[in-house]
């Protein structure tokens, strides 16, 4: 008879629905805090009094509706987009180190955005009028899409992704996109240079309702539809062949994941510049917290990513107030150590 | 019924399979044996549609090249020689992947019951990456059994295709896996598995396919295939098959000193 196995002591994981609820509450709290924080001295008490019907003066109304609310909305949207595209990409590459910012997808999207800013004027007037404010996000999406496709082709052989190849190919892609971006910057005129500098700072400072409107059509569908890929991404964790044997339409899952990454990461880069590490830190924290099931990771990433970016934006605005730090600096300071920590403690299943 | 017709596989410029014709029936265990590099794994991967092939593979009357994956997954589960798992899934979560792939309802206690069947009772919440190689192999087997939980499905008999399912297991667990395979076949399903151990083959297989150089060197009942001259030609070393015991033939390697 088979020998008795030792009794297993498992790690108790929190109920995923409770995690989601707590994340939603935390993000809501941060959002309210963020609305009451800023250089104009409009604090939470004034905002509360506005809610209780005492009304705000004209100046306060402008600050709330035209500055703080769009900034909050952009932060939630961009953070959610970055985190969800990170989770999708990690699922696609079966690797917790994949992040649009690290493996060149952000640079590809950046190249697309710069192309649109510098050469957008050459478009026929009809086309320009048709795409309008959506031109930069669309171009960023296309740039991110091409970069993701190239990366997947280079880094994945026989259904397995090599971490080393993925990171090296990401460096090469990022360098190439950076060089092409450099050429375009060299060609740009003064007005375009100002647009580029403003865009490249990686900031939520340019938040406005039209900007949000321009990128929402790319980001919202990804946030809402990505959980449909969850079962496929879970199965892909065992490799492409195993996923196919489990009845997953592997090619379709890959195609939609790549499109989703490009749309969400591209649009985020287009409106907020290069904000790094949100895509890698958020899914990693969620896996530590409640396990790697993509059915929970994907919606939770949207909540935690949005909350994290709003929090980072508060730090960026308050550390050197009344000036502000580029938010990319804050996320890098928080995210880079986490990235190194993942590298240090990694073990089985990384597929190097 | 599994049928192949003139099955060829060429990988790169090498022809790995050179025209295989055979059938395997539901209700039986078919073992694929043969020396290293004879094409056993490639054959299994062709049968599962993992490598491109010429010829035909029919499973339950469906040409597998023209049958959508989700449909096949409803009556065929596949265990690879090695499975790498990305991300810190627990044993129960891995088994649940198989449950979601199969057809029909399942209840939440099933992962734990299947883990108990592969002698991993209470292992559900344990992280897969913390398990030993043999335990991981049995978790994967439980996943495959979860997918093929109905030996007879509405679309015909279920099939288990296993590539060296006992490679990393101790002898007790090797026997356990053989019992599970046999039970599946007795319940009406079909089992195709690549094996290295000729004695296990002799004990469990109803039919044996002996591969050599990309061809079928022999096929038939264990007593026919596991014979001295057949094995010595295929493997190129001195082997003696003892057909006397009632349990079936026992294969004894002769002394290393008298080897080929």
Per DSSP, the residues of B185-250 read HHTT-EEEEE---HHHHHHH-SEEEEEETTEEEEEE-HHHHS-HHHHHHHH-S-EEEE--STT--E
The per-residue pLDDT for A201 is 62
CB contact under 8 A, B97 and A238: yes
What residue numbers bound the domain in which A129 lies?
Answer: 86-276
| B2-75+148-222 CATH choice from 3.40.50.2300, 3.30.1120.10, 1.10.760.10, 3.40.50.300 | 3.40.50.300
Q: How confident is the model at residue A351 (pLDDT cuts 50, 70, 90)?
A: very low
Alpha-carbon gap: B231 to the closest alpha carbon of chain A (Å): 31
- Higher pLDDT residue, A340 or A55? A340
Nearest to B173 among A2, A96, A231 (CB): A2
Q: Is the pLDDT assigned to residue B258 strictly greater than 70?
A: no
Min distance A278 CA to chain B CA atoms (Å):
18
Residue A28 domain-assigned (yes or no): no
Domain-located, residue A167 = yes
pLDDT-above-90 percentage for chain A: 34
Residue A235 lies in a domain: yes
Work out the average pLDDT over B57-81.
94
Number of domains in chain A: 1
Any idea what the CATH number is for the domain that residue A134 is in? 1.10.3470.10
What's the average model confidence in pLDDT over A152-163? 74
Contact B87 A287 (CB under 8 A): yes
pLDDT beyond 70 at A10: no
Do B70 and A249 make contact, defined as CB atoms within 8 angstroms?
yes
CA A110 vs CA A97, A144, A168, A181, A305: distances in Å:
21, 8, 19, 8, 20
How far does B68 lie from chain A, in Å, by closest CA? 8
- The residue in chain A having the minimum alpha-carbon distance to the alpha carbon of residue B122 is A8
Contact A218, A137 (CB under 8 A): yes
Whether A250 is covered by a domain: the verdict is yes
Instruction: Give the three-state DSSP class for B33.
Output: strand
Q: What is the pLDDT of residue A103?
A: 80
pLDDT-above-70 percentage for chain A:
88
Min CA distance, A304 vs chain B (Å)?
19
Q: What is the pLDDT of residue B256?
A: 63
Task: Kindly report the average pLDDT of chain A as a whole number.
Answer: 84
In whole angstroms, what is the distance from residue A230 CA to residue A284 CA? 16
CA distance B90 to B133: 15
Residues of chain B in contact with residue A13, where contact means CB-CB under 8 angstroms, are 125
Nearest CB among A13, A160, A246 relative to B101 is that of: A246
pLDDT, greater one: B179 or A214: B179
Greater model confidence, B249 or B85: B85
* pLDDT reported for residue A76: 96
Question: For A92-117, what is the mean pLDDT?
Answer: 86
User: Bigger pLDDT: A61 or A180?
Assistant: A180
Task: Evaluate whether residue A232 is within a structural domain.
Answer: yes
Best CA proximity match to A19, nearest among A298, A339, A335: A298
* Structural domain spans, chain B: 2-75+148-222
Q: What pLDDT, on the 0 to 100 scale, is given for residue A202? A: 63
B78 pLDDT band, cuts 50/70/90, is: very high
Which residue of B lies nearest to A3 if distances are taken between CA atoms?
A: B172
Which among B93, B126, B172 has the least Cβ separation from residue A3?
B172
| A247 is a domain residue | yes
Residue A267 lies in a domain: yes
| Cα A327 from Cα B59, distance rounded (Å) | 58
Q: Would the pLDDT of A53 be above 70?
A: no
Tokens for A34? 């963020």
On the question of pLDDT at B80 being above 70, the answer is: yes
Which pLDDT does position B49 carry in this prediction? 92
pLDDT at A349: 42
Q: What is the pTM of this model?
A: 0.88
Strand ranges for chain B from DSSP E: 2-11, 14-24, 29-33, 54-59, 62-63, 76-79, 152-153, 156-157, 159-163, 190-194, 207-212, 215-220, 239-242, 250-253
Please tell me the distance from the alpha carbon of residue A74 to that of residue A26, in angstroms, as a whole number: 18
Counted across chains A and B, CB pairs separated by less than 8 A come out at: 116
pLDDT digits (tens, 9 = 90+) for A207-266: 889 889 888 999 999 999 999 999 999 999 999 899 999 999 988 998 899 889 989 998
Mark B153-171 as b/e (b = at least 16 C-beta within 10 Å): beebbbbbbbbbbbbbbee
- Asked if residue B260 has pLDDT above 50, the reply is no
pLDDT at B245: 60
Flag whether pLDDT at A352 surpasses 60.
Answer: no
Q: Give B110-116's long-range contacts (Cβ < 8 A, gap of 24+).
A: B110/B146, B110/B149, B111/B142, B111/B146, B114/B142, B114/B145, B114/B146, B114/B149, B115/B91, B115/B139, B115/B142
Whether pLDDT at A350 is above 50: no
Select the residue of B78, B124, B175 nearest A10 (Cβ to Cβ).
B124
Closest chain A CA to residue B71: A247
Weakest mean pLDDT among A146-150, A200-204, A322-326, B149-153: A200-204
Of the ranges A40-49, A288-297, A307-316, B29-38, which one carries the lowest mean pLDDT score?
Answer: A40-49
**Range of weakest confidence among A217-226, A306-315, B247-256:** B247-256
Q: Tell me: pLDDT of A56 over 60.
A: yes
Instruction: Report which listed range, A69-78, A109-118, A189-198, is most confident.
Output: A69-78
Q: How high is the mean pLDDT of chain B?
A: 92
Residues of A in contact with B72 (CB under 8 A): 247
Answer whether residue A6 shows pLDDT above 60.
no
pLDDT at B232 over 80: yes
Q: What pLDDT score does B180 carry?
A: 97
């Amino acid at each position: 008879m088979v020998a008795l196995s030792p009794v297993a002591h498992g790690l108790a994981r929190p109920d995923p629905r409770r995690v989601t609820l707590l994340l939603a509450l935390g993000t809501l709290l941060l959002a309210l805090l963020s609305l009451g924080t800023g250089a104009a001295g409009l604090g939470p008490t004034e905002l509360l009094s506005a809610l209780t019907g005492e009304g705000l003066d004209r100046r306060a109304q402008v600050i709330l509706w035209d500055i703080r609310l769009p900034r909050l909305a952009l932060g939630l949207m961009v953070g959610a987009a970055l985190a969800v595209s990170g989770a999708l990409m990690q699922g696609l590459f079966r690797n917790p180190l994949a992040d649009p910012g690290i493996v060149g997808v952000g640079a590809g999207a950046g190249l697309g955005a710069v192309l649109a800013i510098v050469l957008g004027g050459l478009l026929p007037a009809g086309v320009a009028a048709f795409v309008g404010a959506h031109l930069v996000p669309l171009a960023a999406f296309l740039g991110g899409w091409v970069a993701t496709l190239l990366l997947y082709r280079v880094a994945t052989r026989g259904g397995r992704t090599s971490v080393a190849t993925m990171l090296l190919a990401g460096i090469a892609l990022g360098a190439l996109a950076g060089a092409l971006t450099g050429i375009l910057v060299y060609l740009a005129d003064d007005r375009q240079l100002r647009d580029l500098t403003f865009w490249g700072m990686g900031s939520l400072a340019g938040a406005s309702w039209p900007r949000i409107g321009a990128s929402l059509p790319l980001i919202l569908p990804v946030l809402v539809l990505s959980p449909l890929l969850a079962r496929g991404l879970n199965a892909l964790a065992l490799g492409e062949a195993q996923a196919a044997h489990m009845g997953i339409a592997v090619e379709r899952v890959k195609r939609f994941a790549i499109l989703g990454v490009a749309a969400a990461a591209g649009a985020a880069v287009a409106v907020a510049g290069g904000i790094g590490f949100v895509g890698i830190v958020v899914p990693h924290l969620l896996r530590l917290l409640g396990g790697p099931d993509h059915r929970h990771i994907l919606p939770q990433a949207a909540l935690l990513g949005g909350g994290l970016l709003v929090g980072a934006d508060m730090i960026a605005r308050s550390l050197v107030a009344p000036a502000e730090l580029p938010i990319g600096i804050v996320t890098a300071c928080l995210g880079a150590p986490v990235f190194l920590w993942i590298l240090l403690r990694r073990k089985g299943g990384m597929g190097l | 019924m599994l049928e192949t017709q003139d099955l060829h596989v060429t990988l790169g410029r090498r022809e790995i399979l050179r025209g295989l014709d055979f059938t395997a029936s539901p209700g039986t265990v078919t073992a694929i044996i043969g020396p290293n590099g004879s094409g056993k794994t490639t054959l299994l991967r062709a049968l599962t549609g993992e490598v491109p092939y010429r010829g035909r593979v029919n499973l339950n009357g469906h040409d597998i090249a023209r049958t959508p994956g989700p449909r096949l997954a409803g009556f065929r589960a596949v265990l690879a020689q090695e499975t790498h798992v990305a991300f810190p899934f627990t044993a129960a979560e891995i088994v649940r992947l198989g449950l979601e792939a199969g057809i029909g309802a399942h209840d939440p206690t099933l992962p734990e019951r299947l883990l108990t069947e592969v002698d991993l009772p209470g292992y559900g919440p344990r992280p897969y990456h913390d398990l030993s190689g043999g335990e991981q192999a049995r978790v994967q087997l439980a996943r495959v059994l979860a997918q093929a939980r109905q030996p007879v499905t509405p679309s015909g008999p279920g099939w288990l295709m296993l590539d060296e399912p006992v490679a990393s297991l101790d002898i007790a667990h090797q026997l356990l896996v053989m019992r599970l395979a046999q039970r599946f076949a007795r319940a009406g399903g079909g089992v195709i598995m690549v094996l290295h151990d000729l004695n296990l083959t002799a004990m469990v297989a109803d039919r044996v396919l002996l591969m050599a150089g990309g061809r079928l060197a022999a096929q038939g009942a264990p007593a026919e295939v596991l014979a001295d001259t057949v094995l010595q030609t295929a493997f190129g070393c001195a082997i003696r098959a003892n057909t006397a015991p009632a349990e079936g033939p026992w294969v004894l390697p002769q002394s290393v000193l008298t080897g080929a």
